[in-house]
Structure 1
Amino acid sequence: MLPFGEEAARRIQAVYATPDVVRQRERVLALLRPLPGEDVLDVGSGPGYLVRSIAEAVGAEGSVRGVDPSTAMNAVAAEHGADLPWVGIDEGGAEALPYADGSFDAVVSTQVYEYVADVAGALREVHRVLRPGGRVVVLDTDWDSVVWHAADRDLHRRVMTAWDDHLVDPYLPRVLPGLLERAGFDVAERVLVPLFNPVLAEDTYSAHTMVTIAEYVTGRHGLTAEDAARWTDDLRSRGTDYLFSVNRYCFVATARSEG
């Protein structure tokens, strides 16, 4: 899996600041619908951009907690929310949330559960910390949905197969609705959130991600640094024929009362 140290934190911060991910964050926030005075948890809060947006929506009468296992990510997130005293950042994992039962009105998690070994258990944890009738918004990527215009299709397939190793489940959205239902939720909305780059520009999700992929796959599945460089050079040479898209899937669900 990907490391989440200081260098990764800086890289992810740059990716999350791209217009592509800003639009995704706005969509997730609209689906979460945070209200003034609510208590909200962001599971896998990363650099804290979404935490801050939620905090601005709930105001000082509410509260927002972000939880993430990465010390480096939490340092960045804490900086983003330093001027908002109703924001707190905690270290912890999705499978054992460090909060009491019924602590939150809403929980959100974006691009997290595909990294988690026990997703069923993690979703039961979300149900535990939610108040009866509380809501959860979950977004993850199906990496089988990638369309990327590469001339060397064989090399591209090898690279993307190796990239799958960075996740526990690169196709998690296919089973998320069932996992949510079995964890005690009623799924209310299923929303497609595509990332689409019809041109290559440096301030895009795909431009940042191809660098991360190239570094990750080097030395895996027989791929060399030269292979990775050929792959990125191929993509960058598409010119006006450059095209990238990937689908992310967002699920909105409500916690059923136990018993």
Structure 2
Amino acid sequence: MGGEAEVDGLQFDPRMSRQVEAMYTTADVVEQRRIVRAALALRSGDRVLDVGVGPGLLAAEMATEIGPSGRICGIDISDSMLAIAATRADVGPGIELEVASVERIPHPAESFDVVVSTQVFEYLDDVGGALDEVRRVLRPAGRVVLLDTDWGSLVWRSSDDARMARVLTAFEDHLADPHLPRTLADVLVKSGFTLTHLQVVPILNTGYDDRTYSAGLMDIVTGFVPGHADITADEARAWADDLRGLGAGYFFSLNRYLFVASAL
């Protein structure tokens, strides 16, 4: 991959990977990981596959819960993300990292007790096929935990609502399905899973602060949207400057959805 991977035009090169890592260390995403770990309910000795391991923050936290008899395998399509994750791989026992995608998981059948994936499935063209692959590597009665965003839930204050709508439409170009949670439960059932838990995981930022998820997202949006939906680079910068200028009046809200399901 030469140090970078591309998902629908969004390049996960070293610079983007560092931006994602910074976003994932904000209080917003720290809380998100706490919720995901509670849903995982890991036990000592569990074998866990982390699909889209990213900067490795969740993998490192899970490693402390499974103990020395457990195993965590993290896969990602980005060399840059895996390089960052590797800096955390020594904080807990049994973390393995490799370049791979969920469409073709490089492990034998029934290799894992748990599969977890956050912010990955909305990028996939064939969600059902990916879930078939997840089910293949899960042991009988193993569980999958998925977290994805419905971008239709986004509320982001702007002084120019028409420009905001155009920018957000342009940003959706980097996703295969920006509204995946609306259909994910049905696809899970059709793929042989039993849904056991569904939960909304909101992100709310009020008052502009550089140390929030939405501030980091703003930078990623600004870098991506030029050339999409007729957005220019100048427009993208003006959009971001407007939001930062709102100061105490800044408002951002977004819903993610957590699905827990058991393999039949």
Identify the TM-score tier after normalising by the shorter chain: over 0.9
1:51 corresponds in structure 2 to 59
Residue 155, structure 1, aligned to residue 163, structure 2: yes
**Conserved in 2, the CA contact under 8 Å of 1:18 and 1:204?**
yes
**Per-residue displacement from partner, 1:86-142 (whole Å, max 9, x unpaired)?**
110111001111110000111100000011111100011111100000011000001
Q: Give, in whole Å, the separation in 2 of the partners of 1:41 and 1:97.
A: 10
**Per-residue displacement from partner, 1:196-248 (whole Å, max 9, x unpaired)?**
00121010001111111011111221111111122112211222221001000
1:252 corresponds in structure 2 to 260
Q: Among residues 95, 99, 114, which one is paired with 1:106 in the alignment?
A: 114
Match of 1:223, SS state, is coil
Match of 2:152, SS state, is strand
2:4 corresponds in structure 1 to none
**Per-residue displacement from partner, 1:125-161 (whole Å, max 9, x unpaired)?**
1111000000110000011111011110000000000
Ranges in structure 2 where 5+ consecutive residues have no aligned partner: 1-7
Q: Give, in whole Å, the separation in 2 of the partners of 1:241 and 1:92.
A: 43
**Conserved in 1, the CA contact under 8 Å of 2:208 and 2:249?**
no
1:71 corresponds in structure 2 to 79
Match of 1:117, SS state, is coil
**Conserved in 2, the CA contact under 8 Å of 1:94 and 1:116?**
no
Amino acid at match of 1:242: Y
TM-score for the superposition, normalised by structure 1: 0.97
**Conserved in 1, the CA contact under 8 Å of 2:75 and 2:97?**
yes
Q: Give, in whole Å, the separation in 1 of the partners of 2:223 and 2:97.
A: 30
Q: Among residues 141, 145, 157, which one is paired with 1:133 in the alignment?
A: 141
**Conserved in 2, the CA contact under 8 Å of 1:55 and 1:64?**
yes
Deviation at 1:85, TM superposition (A): 4.2
Q: Give, in whole Å, the separation in 2 of the partners of 1:55 and 1:39.
A: 10
Match of 1:175, SS state, is helix
Q: Give, in whole Å, the separation in 2 of the partners of 1:249 and 1:84.
A: 28
2:154 corresponds in structure 1 to 146
Match of 1:144, SS state, is helix
Give percent identity, aligned residues only: 46
Ranges in structure 1 where 5+ consecutive residues have no aligned partner: none
Q: Give, in whole Å, the separation in 2 of the partners of 1:212 and 1:42.
A: 23
TM-score for the superposition, normalised by structure 2: 0.95
Amino acid at match of 1:136: V
Q: Give, in whole Å, the separation in 1 of the partners of 2:191 and 2:98.
A: 24
**Conserved in 2, the CA contact under 8 Å of 1:104 and 1:131?**
yes
**Conserved in 1, the CA contact under 8 Å of 2:67 and 2:93?**
no
Deviation at 1:164, TM superposition (A): 0.3
1:220 corresponds in structure 2 to 228
Aligned residues: 256
Match of 1:82, SS state, is coil
Deviation at 1:50, TM superposition (A): 0.6
Q: Among residues 233, 242, 257, which one is paired with 1:234 in the alignment?
A: 242
Amino acid at match of 1:31: A
**Conserved in 2, the CA contact under 8 Å of 1:127 and 1:255?**
yes
Q: Among residues 197, 211, 214, which one is paired with 2:219 in the alignment?
A: 211
Q: Give, in whole Å, the separation in 1 of the partners of 2:79 and 2:90.
A: 16
Deviant stretches of 4+, over 4 Å? none
Deviation at 1:83, TM superposition (A): 4.3
What is the 5 A alignment of 1:158-177? 158-177=166-185
**Conserved in 1, the CA contact under 8 Å of 2:113 and 2:143?**
yes
**Conserved in 2, the CA contact under 8 Å of 1:177 and 1:187?**
yes
Q: Among residues 21, 31, 41, which one is paired with 2:49 in the alignment?
A: 41
**Per-residue displacement from partner, 1:144-193 (whole Å, max 9, x unpaired)?**
11101111000000000000001111111111101111111000111000
**Is the alpha carbon distance of 1:83 and 1:241 closer, same or farther for their aligned partners in structure 2, counting shifts above 3 Å?**
closer
